Amino acid sequence: MNKPSINHNFRKTLDSQPPQLGLCIMYPSPGVVERIGGDWDWVWVDGQHGELGYGDVIGLVRSCDLVGRPAFIRVPGHEAGPIGMALDTGAAGVIVPCVDTPAQAAQVVRAAKFPPMGNRSYGGRRPIDRIGRGYAEEAHEIMVIVQIESPEAVINIDEIAAVPGVDGIFLGPDDIMLRRGYSMNEPRTPQSLGADMEAVTNAAKKHGKIAVTVGAGAGMIELCLELGFQMIVCGGDVAMLATTSKQLSADARAIVEAAKAKAAPDGNRTVMKTLY
């Protein structure tokens, strides 16, 4: 058996086979990743807004390893502790929200990278158990992705993208729309997001970084492709559960109503014909 490695070769794949399509996971169910994770190229484990504790996160990363897909963990903030814990799971990378300035981006890099570039604390239990005490020597393969989620961040995007150690810049569509005065019920469109998306991809191309965003629906996916995004989140467990449940429920209720309409009356009660 080959020795486990921290290197998922994902950056090489991004360079040769863009775009890579991602699945967002917010519920603590490793079985979901085992069942459908392989349909996607990478998995976004949402430790910021998802219903996940540390035990859930590491279980999801293990499931990603099982299906051979790199896991990227979104942490709640910029603090070194949570960033280090997320990377100690053996994840392929970390996604850090609300990075508005190059100084914040540099702080994130310092927390996520080992010396000499950063100051990440050494000693992750899972990496040592799987790879050995030399795992820090491979840790340069880990990707640091910062989220651009405000008008301030867009203004500073060129300087943020230029920060050494930042590997990717991720436009967060909901937060940027909210901060530009849009309702969360308004659709994501080229009119509402196009300029911000283009600012991110331009900066990414200029500085050799990976451009990341969420592309839901055919129109937004096509726009992501046109602008050159290399990592595109196209679906998630929440939307899949909700959409499929609503559709199956509607289909079943339509069958019931159709059967009722065909039922033969028998006094005051209705004799139902077979439903299925």
Query: Which tokens sit at 206?
Result: 């200029």
Instruction: Assess contact for 212 and 252: CB atoms under 8 A.
Output: no
> Is 78 in the active site?
no
Nearest to residue 41, comparing CAs of 58, 16, 59? 16
Query: Which tokens sit at 51?
Result: 């219903």
Q: What are phi and psi of 145, to 5 degrees?
A: -115, 125
Nearest to residue 89, comparing CAs of 118, 115, 52, 119? 52
Q: Which of 49, 78, 140, 207 is catalytic?
A: 49
Residues 140, 30: Cα–Cα separation, whole Å: 27
Residues 33, 62: Cα–Cα separation, whole Å: 10
Q: What are phi and psi of 4, to 5 degrees?
A: -60, 150
Instruction: Assess contact for 25 and 32: CB atoms under 8 A.
Output: yes
Active-site positions read 49
